[in-house]
Amino acid sequence: MSVNQQAHTGPPYGQPQPGYQGYQQPAYGAQSLPGVPQSQYGAYNGPMPGYQQPVPPQGYFPSLGFPSKGSPVSLNSDTSLAPNFIGSLRAPPTSGAPPPTSGASHPSGHLAYSQFEHGDVQNGIPASAAPMQRPPASQPFLPGSAPTPVSQTSTFQQYGPPPASVQQLSNHMAGMTIGSTAASAPPPAGLGYGPPTSVPPVSGSFSATGSGLYTPYSTSQGPPPTSVSQGLPLAQPPFPGQTVSTQRLPTQVPGFAPPPPSTGVGPSSYPPTTGAPRPPAMPGPPLPGQTVAGPPSSQPNHVSSPPPSTMAGLHPGPPMGGLHGPSPPTHPPQPGYQMQQNGSFGQVRGPQPNYGGAYPGAPNYGSPPGPPPPPKRLDPDSIPSPQLNELPPQQKPRHRIDPDAIPSPIQVIEDDRNNRGSEPFVTGVRGQVPPLVTTNFLVKDQGNASPRYIRCTSYNIPCTSDMAKQSQVPLAAIIKPLATLPPEETLPYLVDHGESGPVRCNRCKAYMCPFMQFIEGGRRFQCCFCSCVTEVPPHYFQHLDHTGKRVDFYDRPELSLGSYEFLATVDYCKNNKFPSPPAFIFMIDVSYNAVKSGLVRLICEELKSLLDYLPREGNMEESAIRVGFVTYNKVLHFYNVKSSLAQPQMMVVSDVADMFVPLLDGFLVNVNESRTVIASLLDQIPEMFADTRETETVFAPVIQAGLEALKAAECAGKLFVFHTSLPIAEAPGKLKNRDDRKLINTDKEKTLFQPQTSFYNNLAKDCVAQGCCVDLFLFPNQYLDVATLGVVPYQTGGSIYKYAYFQLETDQYRFLNDLRRDVQKEVGFDAVMRVRTSTGIRATDFFGAFYMSNTTDVEMAGLDCDKTITVEFKHDDKLSEDSGALLQCALLYTSCAGQRRLRIHNLSLNCCTQLADLYRNCETDTLINYLAKYAYRGVLSSPVKTVRDALINQCAQILACYRKNCASPSSAGQLILPECMKLLPVYLNCVLKSDVLQPGPEVTTDDRAYIRQLVTSMDVAETNVFFYPRLLPLTKADVDSDSLPAAIRNSEERLSKGDIYLLENGLNIFVWVGVSVQQSLIQNLFGVSSFSQISNALSTLPVLENPFSKKVRSIVDMLQGQRSRYMKLIIVKQEDKLEMLFKHFLVEDKSLSGGASYVDFLCHMHKEIRQLLS
């Protein structure tokens, strides 16, 4: 079920909703448009040789999926919950990715696999043509009897294409006896996270019949957890009086047991994708007294794993480390590690509250039988496996975890799109978890702020601080106060209360909002934040209706909406006078490097036209912003561009130690009035400095000059500084080259992230006081000390853009796009933000690009539509489940027309006394955004290794607390993950492998400082794609539709050398071309006739008149439009030197800098969790 599936939140929310008519939602950037097959993962092809097969992690129950949001994924998930089958059908996968999470029981993977001639993708065994026979599916359980051996029809969820033929199956099964003695059963094929356990037959442990690796659930448990285990038998007596007879289990992937009948969870409700026959159920081991139905050879499902050398079609991979030593053989059989992808590993998903339910007991949904599923591998420890000495010799090799059997980000994203992309997200219900950031959805504001403005790590927060400490889940909100909304959504209304200003609480000063309670017939209101009662001002009085609501409730945005703006009165302005419109000052480095590279001429040419696009209020004819120009090297040149002059005048300030502005009148001007003078200046600057030999630059005096100019003009504004080199000229703020890679991995590494001098911190403080925001464009050819130069942009709320080794031909397009967007985007000046909370919690910590002079007010000289402020909350009292918790973010700022405004965002959250409710309402993407920012701030004061260990430890504690308190008891060998956090390990591993925390040899000190600052103000959608890039198979794109091809997982084994792929992470777009790509595709995309002729120097794709070229360029344009920065296009040919850079972004694989692969890290996390639990 999808991680964010939101199943259990508020009652009205969460049922599957009828399609929202007329609103077509492209997913994640127009991705899933109607008519486009939603891809799912292609088939997987088996364990890799050389990967030891770990025992299945305990606690993954395939049939259930990962724990669903609604139901902890664990054995005892609430039986009352309806299973979660919802969501639209998936079309055949377009890539060699793992099968759909949505329900793997139909082998849609096969068809997908063959559908695109993926000849060389190692992604699946060819589908078999021989249908398997269906065994009798209904065997009554006798209540109270010992759990039966895993004899229940072994149904498996399909995870990938089936083995090629019966012959192959029988080979797979060699060495497996079919009988009912447990002892001789083969080990699970590749599952397991823990010690092999010996299994006494009575306990229902594996019977050796075909289902070799299924472990039963223990009798006491309810529905299986979504734990990650590979195959579990259903061996649990039904509740008294219940029989399983009506439930025919659909074939599931091998190694996944269906949920116990008692939960009523039948096979998934997804009908098979078109054209994919549903595999028949496999014959399972007989119940006592039953004969085995069907020839044994037809049972692929559980085939003991042959030695690596004999495994067909597996990918080689590194051996798993550490989790599989045998431990004492005392464990009772454990339910396995049900690795379900968000539902993804199997079609049958875990019960999920409030979601239209399963079809209890439905027999196979009437689809025709299809080819059998292949054996599935999982990971160590989760499934009991017989002792090694009981195995036939060829079964000694250890199991390896199958990458398709662990939670897949692609599947979770896909499921959320299918389940939640078609309905508008209505914000009227308290504490409902929004769709994922990767889902395209429409928001209807009915009293809570849109998730585009605020996202929380959890929408149900613990009532007490003890509970919060126990879970270790950070309580944080990622706030983007000026976020851009899609055209279909309404901008916040502007409310003008005249001279009296907005209505506020007398005590805590919270602003009027939908949660305030009117009493005494409407004459007073009780504050929802501090409970103080305040008189309603006479001009604001209105009668209440019979429900206690004001009669004008729907006429006033502040009473009915979550987000709105107030026009501020003069009391909210500096020095009690209304502000002047802001100014933009362009400050251009004219040293030798800047002139020689063509940069100066490029900037001047662009500014001529760009000045017509300065930001303006909606209905204004022209922008109110005034502009000024400065050039500099070792000295500064100011320009008088007053409209009455025939030619611009230059004034030079060479005393950089005591900066002043030599002219007032004529420096900041209106663009339209001074147009001809400005154009003349921009023509002359490149000529004036064409022969310069000055290589040294200053930096701090440039910012001081801009600051003084804004002070003199008594306005706020923004400096656009274009700078090329380390400022070594004699002047305040002079820097030295301190780059030292030898400090990496030492205790002094933190100094590389800290500024060299405190001078810039003081300068930043002065800039914030004046409302002077700095945007810095850097063009370095060598070390430039971003950690120090970035202090002022960072603390003033500005941005840094970096173009290393800038070359006109390849980089100008990217730079000009960034500059245009930066100049044109919505920005608020002289901003102050405060977050108020209801009694019980308070804001304690803040992350982002801003300055704080006290503990509550976040101050920003400028705040644009891309910047977020992250706020962490801590308890200072108990909360109550009835009243919940409230947040109100109030941002006071000056608009680009000089109007002082207050923007208010309100959000109500639920509170819980049960940890399960907390874990069911978390948002992993937001959690990762917070954890990355927390870690990236940590490197300023602690060694990087300490920061990494703290991150791993915190996440292990979060998952261990869930395991201990929410999952049903099961053996320690199972890895059980909460449904909505099942991607926490894969995403956390991406953060740990990022350049800031684990740099490879090619990453410069400046790159690390740049990324650290960039991530600190990213929103959730940006960190999502930055840490787990999007990988699209371009050759699978449908040239006739507007949709994107289905994404595939970030791993080299998913790439086929006959295909072309696009990978984007928000900063770069790589186009990877395999060596065997058809010549016609190369011709169509690059306009050359062979692979060897493709140029790596392309910075844009050639414009060619053919459908494939048009489609790929439209995909690139669509992705560029979704990101706040223009991404650099890099062409990578397979086996080329640039491929190492590309592989760095295949984050599920091991990294060259020492980062673990996803599979290895999952095992490591499991080990950490087990240590915490023991």
Are 706 and 772 in contact, with CB atoms under 8 Å apart? yes
CA distances from 328 to 188, 198, 216, 693 (A): 18, 9, 20, 77
pLDDT digits (tens, 9 = 90+) for 358-389: 333 333 333 334 443 333 333 434 433 333 33
pLDDT attached to residue 278: 43
pLDDT attached to residue 740: 92
Q: Which residues of 1031-1061 are buried (b: 16+ CB within 10 A; e: fewer)?
A: bbbbbbbeeeebbbbbbbbbbebbbbebbbb
pLDDT attached to residue 401: 81
Dihedral class, residue 46 (left if φ above 0, else alpha if ψ from -120 to 50, else beta): left
User: Rounded to whole angstroms, how far apart are CA atoms 623 and 584?
Assistant: 11
Checking if the pLDDT of 539 tops 70, the result is yes
User: Rounded to whole angstroms, how far apart are CA atoms 457 and 468?
Assistant: 13
pTM comes to 0.71
- Mean pLDDT of the region 974-995: 95
CB atoms within 10 A of CB 1152: 12
- Mean pLDDT of the region 556-584: 95
Q: Assign 1007 to helix, strand or coil.
A: helix
**Degrees to nearest 5, angle at CA 755 with 749 and 756:** 90
Lookup: tokens for 459:
């929408």
Checking if the pLDDT of 689 tops 80, the result is yes
Task: Name the β-bridge partners of 462.
Answer: 912
Handedness of CA 1046, 1051, 1054, 1058 (dihedral sign): positive
pLDDT attached to residue 399: 56
Checking if the pLDDT of 214 tops 90, the result is no
Question: 913: burial class by Cβ within 10 Å (0-12, 13-18, 19+)?
Answer: middle
pLDDT attached to residue 1082: 96
Q: How far is residue 1136 CA from its own chain's centroid?
A: 30
CB atoms within 10 A of CB 613: 11
- Mean pLDDT of the region 866-887: 96
Alpha carbons within 13 A on the beta-carbon side of 499? 0
3-state SS of 1102-1164 is CCCCCHHHHHHHHHHHHHHHHCCCCCEEEEEECCCCCHHHHHCCCCCCCCCCCCCCHHHHHHH
Higher per-residue pLDDT: 551 or 46 = 551
> What stretches of 588-727 show up as alpha helix (H) in DSSP?
592-596, 599-610, 675-688, 700-713
- Mean pLDDT of the region 590-618: 95
pLDDT attached to residue 403: 84
Lowest mean pLDDT among 327-336, 837-846, 947-956, 1157-1166: 327-336
Checking if the pLDDT of 36 tops 70, the result is no
Higher per-residue pLDDT: 425 or 344 = 425
Amino acid identity at 1148: E
Lookup: tokens for 1050:
């970030």
- Mean pLDDT of the region 589-611: 97
Lookup: tokens for 80:
């009352």
Backbone angles phi, psi at 425, to 5 degrees: -95, 110
- Written as one string, the DSSP assignment of 1021-1078 is HHHHHHHS-EEEEGGG--TTSSSPPPPB-S-GGG--TTSEEEEE-SSEEEEEE-TT--
Task: Name the β-bridge partners of 478.
Answer: 455, 870
Q: Which band of pLDDT confidence, cut at 50, 70 and 90, is reported for residue 932?
A: very high
pLDDT attached to residue 1000: 82
Q: What is the DSSP letter of 797?
A: T
pLDDT attached to residue 4: 44
Q: Which band of pLDDT confidence, cut at 50, 70 and 90, is reported for residue 1002?
A: confident
Lookup: tokens for 1026:
């930055």
pLDDT attached to residue 79: 32
Task: Name the β-bridge partners of 587.
Answer: 630, 721
User: Rounded to whole angstroms, how far apart are CA atoms 41 and 615?
Assistant: 44
pLDDT attached to residue 332: 40
CB under 8 Å to 621, separation ≥6 — which residues? Answer: none
Q: Assign 862 to helix, strand or coil.
A: strand
Are 792 and 798 in contact, with CB atoms under 8 Å apart? yes
CA distances from 160 to 338, 377, 411, 416, 1051 (A): 16, 11, 14, 21, 17
pLDDT digits (tens, 9 = 90+) for 740-754: 989 988 999 999 999
CB atoms within 10 A of CB 48: 25
Checking if the pLDDT of 999 tops 80, the result is yes
Lookup: tokens for 1135:
């086996």
pLDDT attached to residue 1042: 87
User: Rounded to whole angstroms, how far apart are CA atoms 254 and 211?
Assistant: 8
Checking if the pLDDT of 314 tops 80, the result is no
Instruction: Give the chain's mean pLDDT.
Output: 76
- Mean pLDDT of the region 779-800: 97
In the numeric block, the tokens 């912003």 are attached to: 625
Look at residues 702, 706, 710, 763 and name the one whose alpha carbon lies nearest to residue 731. Answer: 702
User: Rounded to whole angstroms, how far apart are CA atoms 1015 and 1011?
Assistant: 6
pLDDT attached to residue 512: 97
- Mean pLDDT of the region 874-885: 95
Checking if the pLDDT of 299 tops 60, the result is no
Alpha carbons within 13 A on the beta-carbon side of 258? 33
CA torsion 913-917-921-924 (nearest 10°) is 90
Look at residues 202, 191, 246, 243 and name the one whose alpha carbon lies nearest to residue 47. Answer: 191
Alpha carbons within 13 A on the beta-carbon side of 1133? 16
Q: What is the DSSP letter of 10?
A: S
Q: What contacts 24+ positions apart, CB below 8 Å, involve 997-1002? A: 997/935, 997/939, 997/944, 997/947, 997/948, 998/944, 998/948, 998/1151, 998/1153, 998/1154, 998/1155, 999/744, 999/1153, 1000/1144, 1000/1151, 1000/1152, 1000/1153, 1001/1152, 1001/1153, 1002/1140, 1002/1141
Question: 331: burial class by Cβ within 10 Å (0-12, 13-18, 19+)?
Answer: buried
pLDDT attached to residue 1153: 85
User: Rounded to whole angstroms, how far apart are CA atoms 1028 and 1051?
Assistant: 11
Lookup: tokens for 637:
């040149």
Amino acid identity at 481: P
In the numeric block, the tokens 């063009």 are attached to: 779
In the numeric block, the tokens 């223009």 are attached to: 1126
pLDDT digits (tens, 9 = 90+) for 107-119: 333 333 333 334 3
pLDDT attached to residue 589: 98
Checking if the pLDDT of 858 tops 50, the result is yes
User: Rounded to whole angstroms, how far apart are CA atoms 859 and 656?
Assistant: 28
User: Rounded to whole angstroms, how far apart are CA atoms 272 and 277?
Assistant: 7
> What stretches of 98-253 show up as alpha helix (H) in DSSP?
108-115, 166-172
Higher per-residue pLDDT: 49 or 1135 = 1135
Q: What is the DSSP letter of 366?
A: G
Higher per-residue pLDDT: 156 or 1070 = 1070
Terminal-residue alpha carbon distance, the chain? 30
User: Rounded to whole angstroms, how far apart are CA atoms 429 and 50?
Assistant: 51
Checking if the pLDDT of 428 tops 50, the result is yes
Look at residues 1074, 1071, 1063 and name the one whose alpha carbon lies nearest to residue 1145. Answer: 1063
Checking if the pLDDT of 792 tops 50, the result is yes
Are 200 and 224 in contact, with CB atoms under 8 Å apart? no
User: Rounded to whole angstroms, how far apart are CA atoms 205 and 196?
Assistant: 12
